[in-house]
Structure 1
Amino acid sequence: MARYGQAFKDKAVARLLPPESAELEVVAREVGVSAGTLERWRADALASGRKSGGWTPVARLEAVIATASMSEADKSAWCRAQGLFPSELDEWRQTATASLGAPDTTTMSAATRAERRRVRELERDLRRKDKALAEAAALLVLSKKPRGPLAQGRGRMTAREERQRLVVLIDEAHAEGARLSAACRQAGITARTLQRWRDPDEGIRADGRPDAVRPQPAHALSEQERAAILEVANAPHYADLPPAQIVPRLADEGRYLASESSFHRVLRQAGQAHHRGRAKAPQASRKPTTHVARAPNQVWCWDVTWLPSQVTGRWFYLYLILDLYSRKIVGHEVHEAESGEHAAHLLKRTALAEGIHAATDRPVLHGDNGAALKATTVLAMLQWLGIAPSYSRPRVSDDNAFVESLFRTAKYRPGFPTRGLADLQGARAWAAQFAHWYNHEHLQSGLRFVAPAVRHAGQDAAQLQARTQVYELARQRHPQRWTGATRDWNRVGAVTLNPDRDTGATTQGRQHESKRLAA
């Protein structure tokens, strides 16, 4: 008797089962095995799924597939041979059909995994934003607390009490969500400085610089040399001279005691470095007044300039008020003299023309320290109009830079009467023509090249948007000509007069609450 391997049997039985479902006689003839043997192999294969009197899901599916093409009589005979009831076979078929119609759990599982991953990313992003928000709030609270000597810059002497107070503020900000490095930066120190301040035994270390023992440099002046410097400085023929005059005279005599700085240091240590003479002692100049304009008629700048006439020694005076936000000349007049009455008249006429009398917020008027701009008549008019005055520092023209720049544009553009104006009417006609050109035709480079009148009326945003669209269309036609972004035509926001360069702040609050001068 021939013996067949299991692989050969499985291959032959597979042809009898779906999807091929070949005829039993055809397979028997092809493989050289009798039909009875093949029938037995197929029955054994179907019955091999039984385990402990039951059918596995795979065996049930194979039974449904095997009996799908049988007639009812053959199916009943097969069920009897396998020990099944036809109703059980029908139940298996219904279960298989229902399973095929069920949703794709694999696809749902993938979608669920993607959704869960997205939820985790959103939760992680939310936690990050919550931390950033908490840090911003903590730093904002810390920034409003006074910092004492540290507000003047790093390297200042700080008492232990001041250090303890600052460490408490930093710890509070850190506990509320701020990073330690960010809290230290806001407080004006570094994280390394905070670490150096902390002492496990003493709590907070005191500043050791006052009690530090510093070795004397090898090249320091000896006591004899210091005494010689004081003796020379107090000699009768040098008593009235500063070190800058004493040192060169000693060199002319063939003597060198010390440098000028050493003279100053020795005199200062001896208590002999006080200011002498009728001249004022040097004083630190104050910072300029900072103003920010975020809309028209919030900050005005004004000044007076001279216009030449055809008569030598005679001048015409152009009074001009400029809106800081839009650069528009909101008021101007030309007179033959410079006086406070003319300035007050211009101020009143401009305020009425711009509707300041009906506005809730009045502008700040910034000017220099000229006599006409600080006259009693002008101050009374400012008080009556409710306009806060502001002034430049003495002899510092840069504090009123926008008006000075306007005057330069006026006097260096074509058409300026370099040979002088014939009379007052001609000067006023020229000033009116220049104001119209400046407001409606001249494009301001600091405002993305829009006319002052357009910005004053709030129409610059639409104009700049149209320019942006033109550039985008040009870029779409020839993309190879653009290596980066198109030209920036975004609207300019707030305009700052005299920004604070020390702190980097360019958006200080408006100076509406500045002290108003009484008439």
Structure 2
Amino acid sequence: MARYGQAFKERAVARLLPPESAPIQQVSQELGVSVATLERWRADALTTPIRERVWTAAARLQAVIATAAMDETQRSAWCREHGVYPAELQQWKDNATAALSEAPEERATAQQSREAKKRIKELERDLRRKEKALAETTALLVLSKKFRGDLAAGRGRMIALEDRQRTVQWLEAACREGARFKLACEVAGMDARTVQRWKAGDGLKRGDGRPQAIRPTPAHALSAEERQRILEVANEPRFAELPPARIVPMLADEGTYIASESSFSRVLRAHGQARHRGRAKAPQRSRPPSTHVATAPRQLWCWDLTFLASRVLGQWFYLYLILDVYSRKIVGFEVHETDSADHAVDLLRRTALSEGVHTLKRKPVLHGDNGATMKATTVLAMLHWLGIKPSYSRPRVSDDNAFVEALFRTAKYRPQFPTAGFADLEAARTWASQFVTWYNHEHRHSGIRYVSPAERHAGHDQRILARRHALYAQARETHPRRWTRHTRNWTPVATVTLNPERESVVNSVLEQERETAAAA
């Protein structure tokens, strides 16, 4: 449907009205506008004040001719009747006299007149097109300012009835101003078919029916007995301190499958037993680590020290700890009363001996922060003598040593950690020894598919995860409708990265590993 500018409409109507009074069929053929449209424009113009009409050149000449034989009184009456000032009429007469007084050679020929009319039509078409584009741009700009992210994003979003009605009103207003419906919907972040569906049905009267919809219980939903068993198992004394993320793998190791981890969480939440516990804040998402890549134990270590408060105000003990990033096993630790580089050197020597670093062709990388103890000269000399490559966190980056920092958080927020402080050094060392034993042999680590660090360090994780996968496959065969896709991922974690910057870094390390294995 074509749209015309206001100036074009006024020029067309002026030709239809006196004094020119051109035939409507002739104007329709010349302008390419239907007769019905011209009649509507003329009817609208007759209802407007006469001073708003536009006088074309032909109409002005006709007015000069019609008033030429009139006296002053008659001419004044004519001007009042047609909404023209006498000064305007005199100006039209002077312009016509000046044009007729030109020399014949200065006047346009018939060929020039035809070319000028053709050029005028082209310019008018171009003007109409630009006026249409300008009107659409203006309407879309105004529409974009109305939508400031108020509507929810994404497919299947639920939009309230009030927001629907307001959105349709804004879209209709933009279309009246010259915007195309599809472009207006794109600016509003809506699909045109969605708005059309609202208008065709009751979408603008009743709103979204999903909140009031009656949904039948799925045939594969957990039964009341199964939900009760989940509660009973989760509240057993041995699972009293554990979340569903660790209960489910431990049951799988025992050859028992009751429900998935999400089902455990959903049932506990429904019964009000999913409250956050402990002094730690609720977990938050953090960016994944990498820079160094580990594909086996004894390739990448990270270490740090942390303060252990004593019962004497201002007195601290220092826990030195080395963690294998691939297996998450604590391979070395010590607790001392002072912070000294000599303690760090002794820990490095004992850890390297216990892990058999001297027998490895590829020595491990030891990553730490930029603390004075970690960068002391004696520490660097020991690392050089052991063949271990040192690595340090980037300046002003606080989470480059995230693995060991997460380990310290786990240690200090366990229920067994004495919040009042340690009585003496022996008490701190006893607690540290018990924690390391629990962490290495009993703790199911979420970063390595919920196996213990000692099992992964020894290479037993693949066998354990294979058993879990077989158990889940059997459970899926028993209740196939409870799985819409695949079962839980029990694939062993092949690579562990420390502070990944680019995926190409990981790919290059894996390629080097394959080349080394092929050469061997």
Q: TM-score, normalised by structure 2?
A: 0.42
Q: TM-score, normalised by structure 1?
A: 0.42
The structure whose Rg is larger is 1
